[in-house]
Amino acid sequence: MSQAKEKTIEDGIIKRVSGPVVSAAGLDAKMNDMVYVGDEGLMGEVIRIKDDLTTIQVYEETSGVSPGEPVENTGEPLSVDLGPGMLNSIYDGVQRPLAVLEGQLGAFLDRGVDAPGIDLEKKWGFKPTVKKGDEVNPGDIIGTVQETESIEHKVMIPPNFVGGKVVRIQKGEHTVVDEICELDSGEKITMRQKWPVRSPRPTKQKHTPTIPLVTGQRILDGLFPIAKGGTAAIPGPFGSGKTVTQHQLAKWSDADIIVYVGCGERGNEMTEVIEVFPELEDPKTGKALMSRTCLIANTSNMPVAARESCVYTGVTIAEYYRDMGYDVAVMADSTSRWAEAMREISSRLEEMPGEEGYPAYLSARLSAFYERAGLFTNLNETAGSISIVGAVSPPGGDFSEPVTQNTLRIVKTFWALDASLAERRHFPAINWNESYSLYRNQLDPWLRENVEDDWPDVRQWAVTTLAEEAKLQEIVQLVGKDALPEDQQLTLEVARYLREGFLQQNAYHDVDTYSEPGKTYLTFKAIQTFNDEAFKALSGGASIEQIQAIEAVPRLNRIGTASEYGEFIEQLEKEITDQLKELY
């Protein structure tokens, strides 16, 4: 997020330092202007102006900064560099490229250091898609660049330009700051754009999403789907699997671009992402997964103010690729740390606290963030989407705390992680009785057409069976399983296979880590086949002990690890049916 120190309006003087919040006098500034604070030039942003006193949140550690040092204003809002080179990159919360800075300074970064978000010297092969005399408008695509092996980068007219007729366009090798196109309006186009992180990029129209974001996780795709352009929350206590679930979504979801924002997470978790992702193969293309991924690492030991901006950095990068017509998935891990950063800044500003000390505008900030998701028609008439999945870390797993509750009012998919499931080694530890998705009805037509016509019916059968099991378990705790009628004991047996064979999934198994929609459906169907045939056998005179004893049924739990699943399931269903028919 490099900002050239060219446009100094009028320098101010530091009057007060309170952690990441600095007050300056005599500074000619506007709200959200980016400034450089102190003799070391620490990056900051104007967040309040009152009389002659300007309040700044600084995105770096302020120890050693003292009153009397200068504050320099750039006159521009906090912005990101947009252009080819963002994929396969790792940034901090304010889009400083960590790999570049490590090469310059080593593993430990000095304060006040900065570098452009994209390489200004690398040359890219630009291929025009318009010619001299063509009329172009804001957002229109004028050419392409092969950014990575997987992604073709589309060079666009910036949305805040006027547009006009092309008078000159340059094919060939260019840097991102070279002028590649000139319009009769006098505007000169480069491959580099800048955009304020707190302002959503404009679109033509927002639509209701109707296509699922296929995650490869059976419990999500099967029971609680999210749409491309949808929003989801994953709340859960420490150790319940929030981060691993988001890693799985980043690895396997069928979005074109992944933007992974590590917001206030532990350093070892971000290290795992940084080490593992470059080694992963993209199942869609066979290329490296990082070739369609952008990582933003803002760990818990980094300055708290930068945490507040990192989610905006991530979603702005996502909007840029959405404008090219791509489906983008944003993983924000976790929004609780983001909210805690807001709370700390708010307290230092001495604002009136809301519930549990969070600022009164917490709900508005969360809404504004999640509202940037959606399925859109872009200015250039392409269709693109942004799906946002936010992890929430409620203290002690208390879902009644403000961040979780305010998030639930906004998102349409809720994946509730359960510590008791995690303790029983049931992963993903998503509680199927508390989770929900409001996208089911609008996604069912796609599932009927592209997977199987009876997908919604099979799903409803599974939901009903699991709900019935929850009721029966309460009775079992009082009187024991043997006191139940045999039909209810059989329901518990079927539900057990749903839990163990369908809902459980091994993220670290080469085959089971990903379940395509066809496999998810057939797994559903195989367990339903056992249910239907078992109840026929029961009504035909077979005992529950005989049904439990048949040899084929336990293999339902091995469907997930079967590489040739179609043949495996077909044979298994035949064996289950034949063996149960022998009982009556």
pLDDT of 333 > 90? The answer is no
108 — pLDDT class (breaks 50, 70, 90): low
Question: 16: which strand partners?
Answer: 23
pLDDT of 286 > 60? The answer is yes
**Residues of the chain by 3-state class (helix, strand, coil), percent to 5:** 35, 25, 40
Alpha carbon 190 to chain centroid, angstroms: 29
Mean pLDDT of 298-323: 89
pLDDT of 3 > 60? The answer is no
Angle between helix axes 242-252 and 267-276 (nearest 10 degrees) is: 20
Interatomic CA distance for residues 324 and 327, integer angstroms: 9
Q: What does the DSSP 8-state code read for residue 292?
A: G
pLDDT of residue 94: 87
560-577 pLDDT, tens digit each: 999 899 999 999 999 999
pTM for this predicted structure = 0.92
Mean pLDDT of 399-418: 95
- Specify the pairing of strand 413-414 against strand 231-235: parallel
Rounded to the nearest integer, the mean pLDDT of the chain is 91
pLDDT of residue 328: 98
Interatomic CA distance for residues 496 and 492, integer angstroms: 6
Mean pLDDT of 346-370: 93
5 — pLDDT class (breaks 50, 70, 90): very low
pLDDT of residue 395: 87
pLDDT of residue 269: 74
Secondary structure (3-state) at 337: helix
Q: Within 10 A of 419 (CB to CB), how many other CB atoms are there?
A: 17
pLDDT of residue 282: 74
Burial of 380 (0-12, 13-18, 19+ CB in 10 A): buried
6 — pLDDT class (breaks 50, 70, 90): very low
Structure tokens at 80: 């990101």
Lowest mean pLDDT among 269-283, 502-516, 564-578: 269-283
80-91 pLDDT, tens digit each: 999 999 999 999
**Residues 514, 518, 523: CA angle, nearest 5 degrees:** 80
pLDDT of residue 584: 81
HSE (side-chain half, CA atoms, 13 Å) at 333:
28
Question: Can you list the positions of beta strands (E) in 309-439?
Answer: 327-333, 374-377, 383-392, 413-414, 436-437
Mean pLDDT of 107-120: 81
204-229 pLDDT, tens digit each: 999 999 999 999 999 999 999 999 99
Q: Which residue has the tokens 């193969």?
A: 281
Mean pLDDT of 272-282: 75
350 — pLDDT class (breaks 50, 70, 90): confident
Nearest alpha-carbon partner for 18 in 58, 46, 77: 58
Structure tokens at 126: 């630009």
Question: 35: which strand partners?
Answer: 44, 73
107 — pLDDT class (breaks 50, 70, 90): low
Query: 3-class secondary structure for 226-282?
Result: CECCCEEEEECCCCCCHHHHHHHHHHHCCCCEEEEEEECCCHHHHHHHHHHHHHCEC
Burial of 291 (0-12, 13-18, 19+ CB in 10 A): middle
pLDDT of residue 9: 53
265 — pLDDT class (breaks 50, 70, 90): confident
More confident site: 9 or 196: 196
Backbone angles phi, psi at 579, to 5 degrees: -70, -35
Cβ contact 93:122 at 8 Å: no
Mean pLDDT of 276-293: 78
Q: Within 10 A of 536 (CB to CB), how many other CB atoms are there?
A: 15
pLDDT of 287 > 90? The answer is no
Q: Which range is most confident: 155-159, 239-243, 308-312?
A: 155-159
Mean pLDDT of 518-546: 95
* Residue type present at position 349: L
Q: Which range is most confident: 97-106, 113-122, 412-421?
A: 412-421
Structural domains in the chain plus CATH codes = 12-76 (2.40.30.20), 119-191 (2.40.50.100), 205-438 (3.40.50.300), 455-581 (1.10.1140.10)
* Concatenated DSSP letters of 457-494: HHHHHHHHHHHHHHHHHHHHHHH-GGGS-HHHHHHHHH
pLDDT of 2 > 70? The answer is no
Interatomic CA distance for residues 57 and 32, integer angstroms: 10
